[in-house]
Chains A and B, each alone.
Chain A
């Protein structure tokens, strides 16, 4: 990882819409350098995608997010990888993390309704052979996500002052 790549990541982690030309300006380099670095990081899978932060609550569109703690039996020679793959292949699954502590996998899931999420858990997740137990937590409100505070918009609070 080069210094430039690290700098690029720190900027686009917060603002993925910035284009190569503007990145080159703010980082004090050439556009072609930025372009090459981005391409390299995409190829290496360092940059995995460019997403948009959406506060669905404000859209009126019904969405339910759940965090599901999953305890599983690890398989000989495979550990948790196979079961994680079985789970992350479902398109409604947003994230799968291997976790230390009281359970093994943390699965985040997005569905249209509570019913949809619970039916996924009961019919698909819990029925997997290696799954021992699940505990489902529904998210009631997102205050902050991906480092962004969602409850209040930025407001410049600086007052007029002199000198």
Chain B
């Protein structure tokens, strides 16, 4: 027994300190609580509730039947990269050359990691600017790449958009990369053309590079198409756009994303990708070709369905008096619960205990998410109705 303890201790000392000290994801901790309650209904999941459209699944199956079970080229199937180029052109009006400006990755998350590792010189204090609340991976990925993460706290009164002033205030001579997470998880905020133009001026003036995570670009409810920062003058040459299949095509489990950007950056990203990953799953790549070729209509159907749920939830929150700005992207709503004298975590935990509804506390996505909740509306209207009526009961009981 003693020897076992000593071994454990030895192993602990052998582990990378940086990784051991990294705090686990805040969402994880909350979901561990949820999983103990079998009867809880959740508005917590951050992935589409739709099945992947059948014609896309069918192509995956067909590729297996044909024996397409080998690696693809490291950067991904030629026809897939060509389809990605076509997609970027038709949806965002940006031209990328398929052979050296596009890389197929294992989900958008791999692309985030690769871009940071390809750009950062570790240990010399290079700074990555990360607006929060946002997806929880940017900060740890920046740290693992050897950068210093610099958090920009976004504000409710700006509808959680990044302003030129906020960006300007965070910039130092060490600033190198700006992460631009819009449409945003967890707030549902979007950056429209004017917002992007305002920050592009600052980015150009300070010679920053941009990691634009546009994984939710297809889920946009502004009434006009999503605008990528890479489409603004002077920005394509300093921006890596990350996108993927998970959210738009309901293909989370296929693990497929992509990165588009300047060839010199993509070349280095591809190098890391080939050593660490080899290539994205072959079956998924064949399915991805079908998705991009014939899936626009599916995306639009799902988008309209999310839009309906978005209005439904927003209306219900207004009715119960939970203040909330109108989110125009992704599938999240971010109501403010500051009037209840509880922290986000306390609110979420008591809501779970008393009403059996699981909603992720906003501070899981950064300190500036404190006082908010992230409601995912990737659920049927029936589930949403039930969960929201429980939330309303809770709100009525606890309002001072």
Contacts and interface: CB of A to CB of B under 8 A. Distances in A.
A162 interface: yes
B28 A162 contact: yes
Contacts of A163: 25, 27-28, 135-137
A158 interface: yes
B298 to A, nearest CB: 14
B336 interface: no
A27 B27 contact: no
B35 interface: yes
A25 interface: yes
Interface string A130-163: 0000000000000000000000001010101111
A25 B135 contact: no
Chain B CB within 10 Å, residue with most, of A18, A158, A161, A163:
A163
B contact face: mostly helix, strand, loop, or mixed? helix
A153 to B, nearest CB: 12
A15 B381 CA distance: 10
Nearest to B316: A25
Contact of B311 (A25, A158, A161): A25
A28 B34 contact: no
Contacts of B31: 160, 162
B275 to A, nearest CB: 24
Interface residues of B, number: 20
A75 B304 CA distance: 47
B139 to A, nearest CB: 10
B23 to A, nearest CB: 12
Interface string B21-54: 0000101100100110000000001010100000
B296 to A, nearest CB: 17
B309 A158 contact: no
A67 to B, nearest CB: 25
A contact face: mostly helix, strand, loop, or mixed? loop
Interface in B129-182: 135-137
A11 B308 contact: yes
A44 to B, nearest CB: 24
A22 interface: yes
B385 to A, nearest CB: 9
Contacts of A156: 49
Contact of B312 (A26, A160, A162): A26
B136 A26 contact: no
B315 interface: yes
B136 A25 contact: no
Interface of B: 25, 27-28, 31, 34-35, 45, 47, 49, 135-137, 304, 308-309, 311-312, 315, 380-381
28 contacts: A11-B308, A15-B381, A18-B381, A22-B312, A25-B311, A25-B312, A25-B315, A26-B308, A26-B309, A26-B311, A26-B312, A27-B311, A28-B311, A154-B380, A156-B49, A158-B47, A160-B31, A160-B34, A160-B35, A161-B47, A162-B25, A162-B27, A162-B28, A162-B136, A163-B27, A163-B135, A163-B136, A163-B137
Q: Which 7 A-B pairs have the closest CB atoms?
A: A26-B308, A162-B28, A163-B136, A162-B25, A162-B27, A25-B315, A160-B31
